[in-house]
Chain A
């Protein structure tokens, strides 16, 4: 594979072209869509192109889930309170997230990944690890596979993809982070330390602010500093497990495999309210709303679950959970709501102010497992209505259809 003509955005660590055999140890890719939610929103509404865009909760306690690169230029960041982001960039357009659209786009992209290798480990809607070592005969070396992915994602999904190419998950992920936006960064194993050691310590996986502070007290600011420190010293400073792990990573030692499919253990939905809720009826509606979201996610994933757990966080941050296990797994909103509603009623909360409510279904099984049917009048109408509503939401977005009891109430005169 020639690397004389390189598309823009393509970088090889160390800045020198790959020498003979240098591509051999490459095989792990980390693929990450750039400003994913914001990019999908631009696709939906091309007039937003080039403008600062914030996707996230637009309510009082909303948080930015995705900022376009134009908005990032003003200092807006993911996970920043929406109010602060809007102060930084008043001209930004803020839109609520449209997860149905993101899931559709994600499915397209993951499908492209699957076309290159079956060893795809999705981490989120917008990122995945891929092991392309077995794809050499079909697509060439790992760098060629990465180029192919970027081209196909641009052509078929209309999205910019950054790919990190390396010999391990740790380095591949680091490479994609350093390669953004719309880039391809290759870290051949022979140049791993040359790439890694100048980076600040927060590049190490698992190094949070507390760890960074400790390392700073020891005068360790770069990964190279950490690598040059005896392992025993790190273990004393950070504890045996964390110290040993940091030392390993600082020497680019990471042998985690790409695990193609991590079966979900639970499916849940929760909501932090813009203001605390103390009205029992309103709280019951919010719990119903969670049930509807969970039911839909279960059906989309083809799963059903037996254990329903209700989670509530009080205004003072005290959090409680109450659960029940059913005889037969369910994926229907109404059954989830019956159980969650009973769990809620049994708590006898009165008017205690609630900050967050959530519903989780666990004890999952494939929904196409044998189902013990129930006696009684069939409710084909309701079942069909729920499936039809799923289809409407998938096509027109989350807000397109809802239960009447979840519709905004008209103010009483």
Chain B
């Protein structure tokens, strides 16, 4: 195998497949990246059996071939190469990567052992822009749980419908839901996508004009710009989240989103160990209070439009900031009922994104 390629294009492709290299491979070859050349088409792939990454780029090919090299090192090597033409050649001792005066030689793993990667089915595919996907993933992904004991909650629910994609995630303390337009020409389907796979794919594909999302019974594939990430789906049943969202709040506050975030930041020093922050809703004002026993307290007052009874409600400061930061509008709307009922946070357009957050119950 021998080819020549431009460093940037090459390094991007290697970085893409580096994500899915097994960190603790059960087989040595799973710690490797597959490098396959056919004519001018270079295909890179890696898998940890849960996720599979694949990238295809055009190179100047001289001799076809198929090798597997240690994946992590390959990623580091490609990233550190200076811009310019890179020569890659498989020799007896290993895979040589040359750039000017720089030479790397990577040991070859047994390519015969590399698992056959099934090609994702492209039967049920929806499309949207990379930017839209990245935005939605960032809004929803943080509400997913990290507790592996309840796998369903570590996933983001995809509800694929004609012209509409809805993403939802909850760690049982908060729920984030985002609906966006996309193109989908099939019957409605749902999928539980691991939040980490979604976040990584969406971030890396953010610059693509079109991202394809293919849903199959047990896996999902994100594809764009010659790159592809396939992830196994989480099994189980996602909570019936729509029934969690109350309707008909009577107390509604509207606040400049950035000013509220700045106020919350003022009291973060008191928020260690999830010490709650208190919001006091009053006509024309919203007061943000934080305090830590035997340490100190802080308060910040911001202008707000508020309709409703005077109320004080406590929240986990991180969860609250996550929700307000995710609002894609200049103004944040917070709907509340009382100190024991969930608050609903959204922008002026409540249909696109909403964030439901349970309060913290204070003693006494």
Question: What residues make up the interface of A, taking CB atoms closer than 8 Å to B?
Answer: 324, 327-328, 339, 342, 366, 368-376
Q: How far is the CB of A373 from chain B (nearest CB, A)?
A: 4
Whether B362 and A327, one on each chain, are in contact in the complex, defined by CB atoms closer than 8 angstroms, is no
Give B339's nearest chain A residue, CB to CB: A373
Q: How far is the CA of A375 from the CA of B242 in the complex (A)?
A: 12
Give B340's nearest chain A residue, CB to CB: A373
| Chain A residues in 8 Å Cβ range of B356 | 375
Give B174's nearest chain A residue, CB to CB: A375
| Chain B residues in 8 Å Cβ range of A376 | 172, 239, 244
| Chain A residues in 8 Å Cβ range of B218 | none
Q: How far is the CA of A369 from the CA of B362 in the complex (A)?
A: 7
Whether B149 and A372, one on each chain, are in contact in the complex, defined by CB atoms closer than 8 angstroms, is no
> A328, A339, A373: which contacts B359 (Cβ < 8 A)?
A373
Question: Can you list the 8 inter-chain pairs with the closest CB atoms, starting with the nearest?
Answer: A368-B363, A373-B358, A371-B361, A370-B360, A370-B276, A374-B172, A372-B360, A375-B244
Q: How far is the CB of A187 from chain B (nearest CB, A)?
A: 42
Tell me if B46 counts as interface (CB < 8 A to partner A): no
| Chain B residues in 8 Å Cβ range of A373 | 173, 340, 358-361
| Chain B residues in 8 Å Cβ range of A366 | 363
Known: A372-B173, A372-B358, A375-B356. 20 other contacts (CB 8 A): A324-B149, A327-B147, A327-B173, A339-B149, A342-B149, A366-B363, A368-B363, A368-B364, A370-B276, A370-B314, A370-B361, A370-B363, A372-B360, A373-B173, A373-B358, A373-B359, A373-B361, A374-B358, A375-B244, A375-B358
Tell me if B18 counts as interface (CB < 8 A to partner A): no
Question: What residues make up the interface of B, taking CB atoms closer than 8 Å to A?
Answer: 145, 147, 149, 170-175, 239, 244, 274-276, 314, 316, 340, 342, 356, 358-364
| Chain A residues in 8 Å Cβ range of B171 | 327
| Chain A residues in 8 Å Cβ range of B174 | 375
Count the A-B residue pairs with Cβ separation under 8 angstroms: how many? 47
Q: How far is the CA of A374 from the CA of B362 in the complex (A)?
A: 14
Whether B244 and A370, one on each chain, are in contact in the complex, defined by CB atoms closer than 8 angstroms, is no
Whether B173 and A375, one on each chain, are in contact in the complex, defined by CB atoms closer than 8 angstroms, is yes
| Chain A residues in 8 Å Cβ range of B274 | 372
> B244, B316, B342, B363: which contacts A369 (Cβ < 8 A)?
B363
Q: How far is the CB of B220 from chain A (nearest CB, A)?
A: 25
| Chain B residues in 8 Å Cβ range of A371 | 360-361
| Chain A residues in 8 Å Cβ range of B363 | 366, 368-370
| Chain B residues in 8 Å Cβ range of A369 | 363
Whether B175 and A372, one on each chain, are in contact in the complex, defined by CB atoms closer than 8 angstroms, is no
Give B341's nearest chain A residue, CB to CB: A373
Q: How far is the CA of A327 from the CA of B174 in the complex (A)?
A: 13
| Chain B residues in 8 Å Cβ range of A324 | 149
Whether A375 and B175, one on each chain, are in contact in the complex, defined by CB atoms closer than 8 angstroms, is yes
Q: How far is the CB of A374 from chain B (nearest CB, A)?
A: 5
> B276, B314, B342, B362: which contacts A375 (Cβ < 8 A)?
B342
| Chain B residues in 8 Å Cβ range of A327 | 145, 147, 171, 173
Q: How far is the CA of A366 from the CA of B362 in the complex (A)?
A: 12
Task: Offer 6 A-B interface pairs, CB within 8 angstroms, sorted by A.
Answer: A370-B314, A371-B360, A373-B361, A375-B172, A375-B342, A375-B358
Whether A375 and B170, one on each chain, are in contact in the complex, defined by CB atoms closer than 8 angstroms, is yes
Q: How far is the CA of A376 from the CA of B174 in the complex (A)?
A: 10
Give A328's nearest chain B residue, CB to CB: B173
Q: How far is the CB of A323 from chain B (nearest CB, A)?
A: 12
Q: How far is the CB of A164 from chain B (nearest CB, A)?
A: 38
| Chain A residues in 8 Å Cβ range of B145 | 327
